[in-house]
Amino acid sequence: MLSLNINGQSHQVDVDPDTPLLWVLRDVLGLNATKFGCGIAQCGACTVHMDGRAVRACNLPVGLIGEQHISTLEGVAPTDPVAKAVQAAWVALDVVQCGYCQPGQIMAAIALLRSVPNPTDEQIDSAMSANLCRCGTYVRIRAAIHHAAGALA
């Protein structure tokens, strides 16, 4: 049994320690906001926060997490002002299309805005380029991050 701190709650899970966090979230705990896209940390659909940093859950073995705090999209909203501003910007600009990558995009954007409250286009590109969107919503993601930064300023 492994103990994990997820969204402020302690969970005991009976999985091998090499099991990626993604599958514990989705298939063991039923937390489905974090998505499976590639399994090799190439697409960012599984982006979660570990002690506030954006990390890829698909190649993060739960055995390595220890005491570090994991937040998923279910956990960051609706109490966190940055998360709220990002989600509101995404709705205001109707960023989503199919929406499958967007939880990962939003988690990456929240992490960016927490460390860089008013990012330039270049800083946004640099922080967000690990997150793929097949529908091609990049232009709106960029705009929505500026929008959220403006709302938080």
Partner 1 sequence: MTTPTPRPTMASRRQLLGAGGALVLATFWPTMHHGRAQGAARSGGTAAEQGMLVENAQGVFAPNAYIRIAADNRITLILPNVEMGQGIYTSSVMLIAEELGIDMAQVAIEAAPPGAGAEITGGSTSVMTEWLPLRQAGAAARSMLVQAAAARWQAQVADCTTRSATIIHVPTGRTLPFGAVAAQAAALPVPQKPTLKDPATYTLLGKPQHRIDSTVKVEGRAIFGMDVQVPGQKIGTVAACPVEGGTLASMNRAAALAVHGVQAVLVNAPNNTVCVVADHYWAARKGLRALKPQWHYGPNAHVTTQTIYDQLHDGLSGPAIVANTKGDAPAIIAHAPTTYTATYQQPLLAHAPMEPINCTAHVRPDGCDIWTGTQIADRARDTAVELTGLPKEKVAVHCQYIGGGFGRRLEHEYVTQCIEFARQLPYPLKIIWSREEDLTRDRYRPAYVDQMTAALDDRGFITALTHRIVGPAVVARWDPPELTKDGYDEDLSVTTIITPYTYPAYRLEFARREAPGVVTAWWRGVGGTRGLFVVEGFIDELAHRAGADPVAYRRAMLAQNPRALAVLDKAAQLAGWNTPLPPGRARGVAVQFAFGSYMASIAEVEMPEPDNVIIHRVTAVVDCGRVLNPDQVVSQIEGGLIFGFSAALYNEITLEGGRVQQNNFNTWRIMRMNEAPRKIDVLLMPSTEDPGGIGEVGTAAAAPVLANAMAAAQGRRYRTLPLLSPRNGATGKEQG
Residues that bind partner 1 (CB under 8 A): 15-16, 18-20, 23-24, 26-28, 30, 32-40, 42-43, 45, 72-74, 77, 87, 90-91, 94-103, 106, 121, 124-126, 128-142
As measured in angstroms, the least distance from the Cβ of 148 to partner 1 is 11
Sign of CA pseudo-dihedral 72, 73, 76, 80: positive
Minimum Å gap between C-beta 138 and partner 1 is 4
143 burial class (0-12, 13-18, 19+ CB within 10 angstroms)? middle
- Compute the chain's Rg from CA coordinates: 15
Query: Residue 3 or 21: which CB sits closer to partner 1?
Result: 21
- How many C-beta atoms surround the C-beta of residue 86 within 10 A? 29
Distance between CA 113 and CA 129 in Å, rounded?
Answer: 15
* Least Å from the CB of residue 64 to partner 1: 14
Which CB, 3 or 126, lies closer to partner 1? 126
Residue closer to partner 1 by CB (options 59, 68) is 59
